[in-house]
Chains A and B, each alone.
Chain A
Amino acid sequence: MMNRDELLKIISVLDFYALDLQLYLNTHPTDRDAIQKYNNVVKRAKELREEYERTYGMLTPQNISDSPWRWIENPWPWQYKFNFDLEGDECNVDL
């Protein structure tokens, strides 16, 4: 099982991949290969996001919470502690 930073890193990579494809598809709406890629990336990101949220807390408030309310948990993304280290690390994700 992946730890919190590993999971967050892969979700960040996949979400970025999806966003970049989204912008591309806005101006290439008939590119079937890119749509297929987009669909695969979004599905994988969704699974990993659910796994992350079960253990490490809510990424968006549109989700169920234990008590006490988990949305307010520290750290927040602008804090040093929240973020994972990229140093010397290539992040390749299999789809």
Chain B
Amino acid sequence: MSVMWIYDKKLQFPVKIKRPDPRMARLIITQFGGPDGELAASLRYLSQRPSMVTPMAKATLNDIGTEELAHFEMIQSMVAQLTKNASIEDIKGSGYEPYYVDHGKGTYPVQAAGTPFSAKYFQSKGDPRTDLYENLAAEQKARSTYEYLLNLADDPDVIQPLRFLREREIVHFQRFGEALRYVQDYLSDKKRFSYGKMKK
């Protein structure tokens, strides 16, 4: 093992969608390249790492930022499988047409309304507390997005991975909250910070 990152040739959670549904693909793609999507999440956390303090918060950013890449791949797999066997008749009237004209059945990072991905979707502020508050909000926004997608989904093959991804937003919110408490203790009173001999 000599390189980072190592690609693991499997999904974090299986995506096995039997029925084509270009309408749902057009909506789910927002979690690929939209404002609260997995690409924005990964870049947000990985970008914030160098200015983070405490070993706990640094590890949390590093590892959640990495997990988000696995979610990016799950979303991509969902979009790909929802469109692979879709006929032109399936596509007509589905809402997928504008995307089809620009990208065919390729996966391209856009939000549901079609705006391409932008680094404007996230911040890396250089202030550990500020960044962790941003991340807590980001996890909640992603959870809401998954709930809206679930409201619009009817196929169990689509619902299962969406539910898994929604649950991960809740776990990440919890972990970022714990990291924030360590960071607040560390920044407000370095003597009170009791986990071993702490270095920044």
- Do A and B truly interact? yes
Residues of A within 8 A of B (CB): 8-9, 11-12, 15-16, 19-20, 22-24, 26-30, 58-62, 71, 76-80, 82-87
For residue B118, give the distance in angstroms from its CB to the closest CB of chain A. Answer: 24
Closest 6 CB pairs of A and B: A27-B178, A78-B77, A83-B14, A26-B59, A83-B16, A77-B11
Pick the residue among A16, A59, A71, A77 that contacts B77 (CB under 8 A): A77
Q: How far is the CA of A27 from the CA of B17 in the complex (A)?
A: 36
**Which of chain B's residues have a CB closer than 8 A to the CB of A76?**
9
For chain B, the count of residues having a C-beta within 8 Å of the partner chain is 38
Identify the interface centre among B16, B60, B81, B171: most chain A CB within 10 Å of its CB: B16
Q: Is the CB of A22 within 8 A of B10?
A: no
19 more contacts with CB within 8 A, not counting A59-B8, A80-B81, A85-B14, are: A11-B10, A15-B8, A19-B12, A23-B171, A26-B179, A27-B179, A58-B9, A59-B9, A60-B7, A78-B76, A78-B81, A80-B16, A80-B17, A80-B18, A83-B14, A83-B15, A83-B16, A85-B16, A86-B160
Q: Is the CB of A12 within 8 A of B13?
A: yes
For residue A38, give the distance in angstroms from its CB to the closest CB of chain B. Answer: 13
**Which of chain A's residues have a CB closer than 8 A to the CB of B64?**
23
**Which of chain A's residues have a CB closer than 8 A to the CB of B60?**
23, 26-27
For residue B194, give the distance in angstroms from its CB to the closest CB of chain A. Answer: 10
Assuming the A-B contacts A19-B67, A26-B56, are A77 and B9 also in contact, with contact meaning beta carbons closer than 8 angstroms in the complex?
Answer: yes
A-B contact pairs, 7 of them (CB 8 A): A12-B13, A19-B67, A59-B10, A71-B9, A79-B81, A80-B84, A86-B160
Query: Is B182 an interface residue when CB atoms closer than 8 A count as contact?
Result: yes
Query: Is B46 an interface residue when CB atoms closer than 8 A count as contact?
Result: no
Query: Is B73 an interface residue when CB atoms closer than 8 A count as contact?
Result: yes
Q: Which residue of A lies closest to B66 (CB)?
A: A19
For residue A88, give the distance in angstroms from its CB to the closest CB of chain B. Answer: 10
**Which of chain B's residues have a CB closer than 8 A to the CB of A60?**
6-9
Q: Which residue of B lies closest to A11 (CB)?
A: B10
Assuming the A-B contacts A27-B60, A62-B1, A83-B16, are A77 and B175 also in contact, with contact meaning beta carbons closer than 8 angstroms in the complex?
Answer: no
**Which of chain B's residues have a CB closer than 8 A to the CB of A82?**
10-11
Q: Is the CB of B12 within 8 A of A12?
A: yes
**Which of chain B's residues have a CB closer than 8 A to the CB of A30?**
195
**Which of chain B's residues have a CB closer than 8 A to the CB of A61?**
6-7
Q: Which residue of B lies closest to A87 (CB)?
A: B156
Q: How far is the CA of A16 from the CA of B99 in the complex (A)?
A: 33
Query: Is B80 an interface residue when CB atoms closer than 8 A count as contact?
Result: yes
Q: Which residue of A lies closest to B58 (CB)?
A: A26
Q: Is the CB of B14 within 8 A of A84?
A: yes
